A and B are shown apart, each in its own frame.
Chain A
Amino acid sequence: DTAVSQTPKYLVTQMGNDKSIKCEQNLGHDTMYWYKQDSKKFLKIMFSYNNKELIINETVPNRFSPKSPDKAHLNLHINSLELGDSAVYFCASSQIQTFSENTEAFFGQGTRLTVV
């Protein structure tokens, strides 16, 4: 069984469209993340959720809206897509054991988004 799965794997869409990427983890983790990896391989955190509550929201345009219906799912909805949104988006999860300590994170395989 895949621990962290995201769909779709590839997404090609036109500028101005709205799209969603889904993420599910079956590890029982409390914390989930969304990352964006650009063409230079720089991996930037976008959001972090713990038990369905938003705890980290980096400076991401409000066209990006994460939604966590339960702690096993964290979906990413993107409105009015722009060329600069083209990147690989990764979902991840981890179990934070103490308030201040991050532990091992498990990543999905990524969604390659291409905006044309």
Chain B
Amino acid sequence: SQQGEEDPQALSIQEGENATMNCSYKTSINNLQWYRQNSGRGLVHLILIRSNEREKHSGRLRVTLDTSKKSSSLLITASRAADTASYFCAPGTSYGKLTFGQGTILTVHP
């Protein structure tokens, strides 16, 4: 099934540093979404980028999409301890099918 594969599986940084997570997928997409999951909670939507967009910003988040390489990246600038969470990408393909991978576990040390 079409799901994103996040890389790296785990990322550990210091507060104030930037964090970059990558997502690769296999087939053509309509859009791609990024979500965050805090420990023990449900997923929270961060940003959606459409297939005809190359870059999108939301606050400290910057998402890029390269459809020729079938990849996306999520950059969190000036990270904070509160950014500690798992991050998932969800390539949007079939109607009604929102699929996820294993996520990237981000730990931001104060």
Q: Does A pair with B?
A: yes
Report whether A101 and B92 are in contact in the complex, using a CB–CB cutoff of 8 Å.
yes
Find out whether the CB atom of B42 lies under 8 angstroms from the CB atom of A33: no
B92 touches which of A4, A33, A42, A102 (Cβ 8 Å): A102
Q: Is the CB of A106 within 8 A of B103?
A: no
A110 touches B30 (CB 8 A): no
Interface status of A56 (Cβ within 8 A of chain B) = yes
28 contacts between A and B (CB under 8 A): A41-B103, A42-B101, A42-B102, A43-B88, A43-B102, A44-B100, A45-B1, A45-B97, A45-B99, A45-B100, A48-B97, A50-B96, A56-B94, A94-B98, A96-B96, A99-B95, A101-B31, A101-B95, A102-B31, A102-B92, A102-B95, A102-B97, A102-B98, A104-B48, A105-B35, A105-B43, A106-B45, A110-B40
Chain B interfacial positions (CB closer than 8 Å to A): 1, 30-31, 33, 35, 40-45, 48, 86, 88, 90, 92, 94-103, 105
Q: Mark A101-116, 1 if CB is under 8 A from B, else 0.
A: 1111111111000000
Cross-chain contact B30 with A41 (CB below 8 angstroms): no
Nearest-CB residue, chain B, relative to A99: B95
Please give, as numbers and ranges, the residues of chain A lying within 8 Å of B44 by CB-CB distance. 107
Task: Report how far A44 CA is from B99 CA in the complex, Å.
Answer: 7
